[in-house]
Chains A and B, each alone.
Chain A
């Protein structure tokens, strides 16, 4: 799963620490999310999307595994 967190954060001139404070996680978690090393839970994904005023699908890009029918 990829995401647009870094892109959206830079557009709004928000630091990683500010975003971490806003969604109540550590800055290390934001760093890991942006680098793709960690996938957010549904709850955290919802909090981040709500923070940016967007839907989950607009922030997180789900990749299908295997071929779609």
Chain B
């Protein structure tokens, strides 16, 4: 398995890309006709993201970027941030489950959410158990 850690810029660019895609594809305030009209801008935005990533690599060089990926402080920050995010996600999913069941009475959606929560926690446990054996 390739264990390549993203740099902060890589992660930021991924977030921007997802945000742009999400807004253009799923935002309720954009109509289908507006969405079609915005498609060329979406392609431009994606090209801009690729350009920024390429410029960053040219400016800093591959060795500097590899060092940023290997740097122990960056690794610690990445791992801590992912753990905090995992905890926050668990809280949000549980809260959402409670709202769906207690207030909205959307039992089918709540069950799907419950299985997502169960699967996610099982996967995290299995990976942690495997890493515990590896190290």
A32 CB-CB contact with B under 8 Å:
yes
Interface string of B60-85 (1 = CB under 8 A from A): 00000001101111101000000000
Binding site for B on A (CB under 8 A): 24-26, 28-29, 32, 38, 40-41, 43-44
CA distance A25 to B68 in the complex (A): 7
| List of A residues within 8 angstroms of B70 by Cβ | 24
Interface string of B87-118 (1 = CB under 8 A from A): 00000000000000000000000000000000
Return B85 CB to nearest CB of chain A, in Å: 21
How many chain B residues touch the partner (CB < 8 A)?
Answer: 8
Binding site for A on B (CB under 8 A): 67-68, 70-74, 76
Most A-side CB within 10 Å, residue of B73, B74, B76: B73
Return A37 CB to nearest CB of chain B, in Å: 9
Return A49 CB to nearest CB of chain B, in Å: 16
Most B-side CB within 10 Å, residue of A25, A32, A44: A25
CA distance A65 to B67 in the complex (A): 34
| List of B residues within 8 angstroms of A40 by Cβ | 72
Contact A24 B73 (CB under 8 A): no
B66's closest neighbor in chain A, by CB?
A24
Contact B73 A38 (CB under 8 A): yes
Return A5 CB to nearest CB of chain B, in Å: 14
With contacts A29-B73, A41-B72 known, what are 5 further pairs, Cβ within 8 A? A24-B70, A25-B73, A26-B71, A26-B73, A29-B74
Return A14 CB to nearest CB of chain B, in Å: 18
| List of B residues within 8 angstroms of A24 by Cβ | 67, 70
B73's closest neighbor in chain A, by CB?
A29
CA distance A14 to B132 in the complex (A): 40
Q: Which of A26, A38, A41, A43 is close to B67, meaning CB atoms less than 8 Å apart?
A: A26
Pull 24 A–B residue pairs with CB atoms less than 8 Å apart, ordered by A.
A24-B67, A24-B70, A25-B67, A25-B71, A25-B72, A25-B73, A26-B67, A26-B68, A26-B71, A26-B74, A28-B71, A28-B73, A28-B74, A29-B71, A29-B72, A29-B73, A29-B74, A32-B73, A38-B73, A38-B76, A40-B72, A41-B72, A43-B72, A44-B72
